[in-house]
Amino acid sequence: MVIAEQKLLKWGLVLNAIYVLLFFLIRPDGINIVKISITTLLLFSVLIICSLSIKNIYRLKEIPQFSRFLFYMLLIWGGITIVRSFSFSIQDWVTNFGNVYMGLAWIAPLAMVLGLKLENWNIVFKVIFFVFKLMIPVFGISLLFNTSYLQWAWLLRSVNLILLLGLSRISLIKKGIVLVIIGIYILVAISVKQRMDLLFLSLTMGFLIMDKLIGIKIRRVFLKYIISFFILVLILVFTVGYEFVSNTISSIIDFQDSRTFLFYELFNELNLIEKWIGRGSLGTYYSHFFEHTKWYTINILKKPWWGDSSVRITIEVGYLQMILKGGMLLFLLNTLIYINAIYLALFKSSNKFVKRLGYYILVITLLSLVSLRPTFAPTFIFLWMAIGTVLPKKYRLMKDDEIYSVVKQLR
């Protein structure tokens, strides 16, 4: 039975990765056989991961009561957010359940249950290295055909998780693969001017260096300052405003802001009730910035417009995406779970594995203020699995040798 579950999990993760790869390489439009075939891979992935999570839901008794309460509330509110966008339109159904940004993004927290079983990380690492081996030739092919590879770079982001958990215990061949993937990851990020991925890698390397060079006591103090400062910034952003925070940072360091207009437009469009409950998983907002940019490009520059519509169904900032879809309630539930998991992992654990998962959660928590929209894709599936692993006290109290006797893929 355990073997069957592990095989199912492997297929669920592999199908999800292949969906991301094919969808963003082929980029099918409308409803056609190609898009239906690719979306079927996603739906099978969702079905497998969710069914395994529901089957093992009894494992939630292993986590603290407060964490369990937050998780249930998040699932309930995520479900309400999806149901609020119910319609009889086939296109709405395809968008809501065939797009990793829409309804499926709020189902992803179920993956936390999979993290409650430590052995599942062996499957995760097998899948990650399978995807890495797949991405190397795909990258070469994309260069030959000059195909846009911005979005399938999502599949490269798992290298941050591998780096955090350590290279010292893996084989020389796998180390070589990781180095090649890092090179491709940097090249992709520079080529498409995706600063977020460079920041992702920089934060990962920064925490790794800190973890190796700074003593435990000083490191704990430093981490407390980082988390406290982030919480302060988060409070200021959603009270005083993002523009104030951006201008303050710009006065201290050379900081190129490209997010203020997103915060301004969204909060000016939502009424008080919508700010708290959002507009549902298919909720949209009107962007004056994109409308003006489109007009300027077409009428002044006399060029075709390839950018977003002024009526936008997603927004680039992770926390804003939560607010657009499920309001401050969805945002608060997510951030409370993130911060609770970070605290337990970094300050209440006895092994490096759980601490490093805490770093992964912390990095994504920080980056969600400027990017990283929640998705039903590897980055967030692994995030929720990480949260599931750091919450149980039994895993946090295990010694390194005990952890690696179970997670053998990192031995």
* Residue type at position 379: T
DSSP 300: I
Between 7-11, 182-186, 295-299, the lowest mean confidence (pLDDT) is in 295-299
Nearest CA among 207, 218, 230 for reference residue 357: 207
- What confidence tier does 1 reach under pLDDT thresholds 50, 70, 90? low
Q: How far apart are CA 7 and CA 173, in angstroms?
A: 24
> What pLDDT digit, counting tens, does each position of 319-368 carry?
999 999 999 999 999 999 999 999 999 999 989 999 999 999 999 999 99
Please answer whether residues 280 and 81 qualify as being in contact, where contact means their C-beta atoms are separated by less than 8 angstroms.
yes
Domain count within the chain: 1
Average pLDDT, the chain: 86
Q: In which residue are the tokens 């200021």 written?
A: 236
pLDDT of residue 244: 66
Domain coverage including residue 22:
2-410
Tokens standing for 85? 């966008």
Provide, rounded to the nearest whole percent, the portion of the chain with pLDDT above 70.
87
Angle at 379 between CA 377 and CA 382, to 5 degrees: 100
pLDDT of residue 139: 79
Nearest CA among 322, 411, 338 for reference residue 373: 322
> What pLDDT digit, counting tens, does each position of 111-148 carry?
999 999 999 999 999 999 999 988 888 777 777 665 55
Q: Is 372 left (phi over 0), alpha (psi -120 to 50) or beta?
A: left
Question: 3-state DSSP call for residue 285?
Answer: strand
Angle, helix 158-165 to helix 172-191, in steps of 10 degrees: 140
